[in-house]
Structures are given as structure tokens and as C-alpha cells.
Copies of this chain bind each other. A is one copy, B any other.
Amino acid sequence: MSSAEQVARAAREASNLLQTISSAQKSAVLQRIRQVLEERRDEIVLANQQDKEAAQKEVEAGRLSSSLFKRLDIESGEKYATLLQGVDDVDRISDPIGQVTLARKLDNDLDLYRVVCPVGVCLVIFEARPEVVVNIACLAIKSGNAAILKGGKEAARTNQALAEAIQHAIATTPAMEGQTKFPERSIQVVSTRDEISSLLDMDRYVDLVIPRGSNSLVRHIQNNTRIPVLGHADGICSTYLDESADVQKAVHIVVDAKTNYPAACNATEALLVHASVVSTVFVEVARALLAAGVRLHADERSLAAIEQAGLQSALVSRATEADFGHEYTDLDIAIRVVDSLDDAIDHINAHGSKHTDAIITEERKNAEWFMRRVDAAGVYWNASTRFADGFRYGFGAEIGVSTNKTHARGPAGLEGLTIYKYYLFGNGQGAGDFGVGQGKHQFLHEDIPIDSSVRDKFVL
């Protein structure tokens, strides 16, 4: 058996055992993880320093970007404290497992319940940012999933040190009375690329793949596995300035959406402008963007307005068709003038990535039309696309942002790691007992009120 298959089978076995672990025991494991991460701070920071030293040489040799280098660090400022705080944050989210989402009496003595349960085994592939190890491990533990983690090679020592701390914490959390011990192989780390391509084949053992990284990483994974993938390749968000856009709101929102964190997937990449406001609202937005150092890739009509307003600069260039549908992840924005609200919607549905799109308008009817017809995980009225984030939505933590149209969409928290199963409690019935004719039963299909007795029925 290959080492990848051993890892996948061990994860599946751990997942089977995780079905019977109580919330209290999951919480005990999380608190123990926090404790071990505090105790081992010095050795984890040492591993991080070694990774950074090696990476520094790569940066100097021009083989690693300085932004990637910055994301390696886990010790500066409040970073380690934030990492520890993250464990508590996940511990505090209410446990979704065992929640009843449907309860129905099919017949007397034949009761059906739909109950939330873990997805099973998740494979998480990420680049740089070693704190993801802790974040994902905690989310997996809280949701009762087994996780296989593969980080970037630049952070290999840090990832390994964090993973060992987590595994030690799991191993040294005592089982609660009458309960299975928390399975040690619930959280595993793999380190080579070969293992990943083998793991992507193991749809027998792995239920969900969560890639967190560059477009090319995500697209490679989507194209090379039959396992469902949760995440997004592109974050092509648009903001549309409608006929009745308020100029102050427009300036504030667009500047925030573009410059607050240009590398983020929820940064706005395209600005659509209704023709009637191109020489008014748009000119003020363009002025503010230029002042913030944003490069404007403008179509013919917006370029004319920029020139007419005397805003020509080295930051302004003519957009090509390729600018629309492109994720800059930098201080660049594509600009197109449209003749109607519907044209803006059609542009977004054709060129966007179904992530998050915003309309700036004072006209409620236009906002509602836009929000209903734009096919995206997030549709915003007079707010920055940058709000698309699990923490900002109040989910407590985020496993990723999904542009899928199935399962989880948008910022995904613990719920994205859960599914449900149907429990049926009978008293010896066969399906043939129901139907038309003498002595046959009819289905009652009465909803059972989901009161506290039902709510507690499946919670451990």
C-alpha cells in the first residue's frame, strides 16, 4: 500500500470513530491544543525562523515573492497570540453536529429525522501561511471531520512543528468516561507533491478537497480529481455604478473594494459605469482611485471621460477584452461603461466568477433587480465587496470562500464541513405494507415539532 493510501485509510478510520465523539470531548481536545501550542511556542517559533531564513535566500535569488515571504511569518507582533485566539474562537462556535433539520412521522411508530453529521475526510491543500494548519485542524475537530493537510514547502518546518503539537495534544487528551478516545490520526500532515496527486485519486476515502491558494493551484486540483472541491479559482468581483449612485458612497466603496487588500479574492477587479454618470460620479471615483495609486484599465467611453476631466496619467491605459474576466490581485481595475442595468448584469454574469458583486444606487428597485439576477455567492447594495469573508459574516472562522453552485457557497464556516443523514426509526415495517388496498397503510407525513426533546435526541 502506498504511503498516500495509508494516510487516506487512516483518515477514513479516524472519521468512522469521530462519529461518536461528544461536543465536550471535542472541546477538551481544542483546549489541550491551545495549551500545547503555548508550551511549545519556542520550538515552533524556531522552526518558523529556519523556514524564514531559507525563504530569505530564495527571495534574494528571485525565486520567491516577498509577499509570499511575509505570509510565512507566525511570530511578529500579535501573530502568535492571534493564532492561539483562533483556537478559542473555533471552540466557542456552537457545534453543528447532531442538529435536527427535519422531523416527520411517516406513520405511527415510523419516524424520520434528518440530522447534521460530518462530511467525513477532508483534504486541505494550502500555500504558505502556516497558521492555516491550526485553523483547519480546529475546524475539522469541531465539526468531527478527519483532515489531511498539505502545506507549501516554504513552511515545511513550521507546518510540521504545528502538526506535531496538535497530534501530541490529541494523544494526551484523556478519553471521557464511557467515550471513545479521540482518534490520533484525525489530523495528518503530508509533505510531498507525489502524495497529493495520489490522494486526489482516492475518492473512496476522501470526501472533500479544499484548496486554498493561487488560481493555478485551485484550477489544477479541480481538473485532476473526481472528489468534490470546495473553494474558488478566481475572485473576479465587480462593482456597478448605477444611474442614481450617490457620489460619496461610490467613492468610499470603490476605493475600499479596490485598495483595502488588493490581493484578496473579494477585492473588486472591474468597475461598471452607467453611461449617464460617466462624467459625474465616475470621474470622482476615478480621481480617488488615481490618488490611491490604482492603475485604471479603461474602455473607450470611460477613457474619454477621464481625459475630459483632465485626469490623464501614467496610471491610465486602454482596456482590452482580456482585462474583463481577469483577476489582477493588485492595484489595477478594469472599467467599462454600460447603457443599462441589464447590460451591467449581463456583463457580470458573463465575465464574473460568481464570487461577490455590488451595485451602488439610491434606487431600491434597481438594487433588488440586480441582486436577484446576478448569479454570485454574494450580491451587495451600497457596500464594498471586501465584506465577503467568514469573520465579517460572523461565522467565527472560515474554511474558505466557495464559488461553487452546490453544497456551500460564499464564505464557508463550520457548516461547509457538514452534511446530513436520515435516521428512520421503525417497528418492523416493510415498504410493501403501504399502498392501496385492504389492510394497507397510508403515509401520514406529519411534521414532528422540533422541540428540545427532538433537538437533544442526536446531540452527544
Nearest residue, chain B, Cβ from A388: B422
List the 4 closest pairs (A to B, CB-CB), nearest first. A256-B430, A383-B426, A249-B428, A386-B431
> Contacts of A246 on B, CB cut-off 8 Å?
428
CB-based contact A422/B434 at 8 Å: no
Task: Identify 7 new A-B residue pairs, CB closer than 8 A, beyond the known A383-B429, A384-B431, A392-B443.
Answer: A106-B393, A222-B226, A380-B426, A383-B425, A386-B431, A387-B431, A411-B422
CB-based contact A20/B372 at 8 Å: yes
> Contacts of A405 on B, CB cut-off 8 Å?
119-120, 207-208, 228, 419
Cα distance, A168 to B337, chains bound together (Å): 39
Cα distance, A254 to B321, chains bound together (Å): 64
Q: Which of B406, B422, B431 is A410 in contact with, Cβ under 8 Å?
A: B422
CB-based contact B384/A429 at 8 Å: yes
Question: For the complex, is A327 an interface residue (Cβ under 8 Å from B)?
Answer: no
Nearest residue, chain B, Cβ from A254: B430
Would you give the 0/1 interface string for A338-378, flagging 1 where the beta carbon is closer than 8 Å to chain B? 00000001100100000000000000000101011101111
Nearest residue, chain B, Cβ from A257: B430
Q: Which of B104, B346, B410, B425 is A381 in contact with, Cβ under 8 Å?
A: B425
Question: For the complex, is A49 an interface residue (Cβ under 8 Å from B)?
Answer: no
Q: List 29 A-B contacts (CB under 8 A).
A: A15-B375, A19-B372, A19-B373, A20-B369, A110-B387, A208-B405, A208-B406, A228-B406, A252-B428, A253-B429, A256-B431, A260-B430, A378-B422, A378-B424, A379-B424, A380-B425, A381-B426, A383-B428, A383-B429, A384-B431, A386-B430, A386-B432, A387-B426, A392-B431, A392-B434, A392-B443, A405-B419, A409-B421, A409-B422
Would you give the 0/1 interface string for A392-431, flagging 1 where the beta carbon is closer than 8 Å to chain B? 1110000000001111011100000001111111111111
CB-based contact A394/B445 at 8 Å: yes
Question: For the complex, is A331 an interface residue (Cβ under 8 Å from B)?
Answer: no
Q: Which of B249, B346, B387, B419 is A424 in contact with, Cβ under 8 Å?
A: B387
Cα distance, A380 to B257, chains bound together (Å): 50
CB-based contact B392/A106 at 8 Å: yes
CB-based contact B430/A378 at 8 Å: no
Cα distance, A394 to B114, chains bound together (Å): 13
Nearest residue, chain B, Cβ from A446: B394
Q: Which of B120, B378, B443 is A375 in contact with, Cβ under 8 Å?
A: B120
Which of A345, A382, A405 has most chain B Cβ within 10 Å? A405
Tell me the A residues contacting B by CB distance below 8 Å. 15-16, 19-20, 104, 106, 110, 112, 119-120, 207-208, 222-223, 226, 228, 230, 246, 248-249, 252-253, 255-257, 260, 345-346, 349, 367, 369, 371-373, 375-384, 386-389, 392-394, 404-407, 409-411, 419-434, 443, 445
> Contacts of A404 on B, CB cut-off 8 Å?
228
Nearest residue, chain B, Cβ from A369: B20
CB-based contact A422/B377 at 8 Å: yes
A346 to chain B, nearest CB (A): 8
Nearest residue, chain B, Cβ from A445: B394
> Contacts of A16 on B, CB cut-off 8 Å?
345-346, 349, 373, 375
Q: A378-B422, A406-B228 are in contact. Are A249 and B427 (CB under 8 A)?
A: yes
Which of A377, A387, A423 has most chain B Cβ within 10 Å? A387
> Contacts of A388 on B, CB cut-off 8 Å?
422
> Contacts of A256 on B, CB cut-off 8 Å?
430-433
A111 to chain B, nearest CB (A): 10
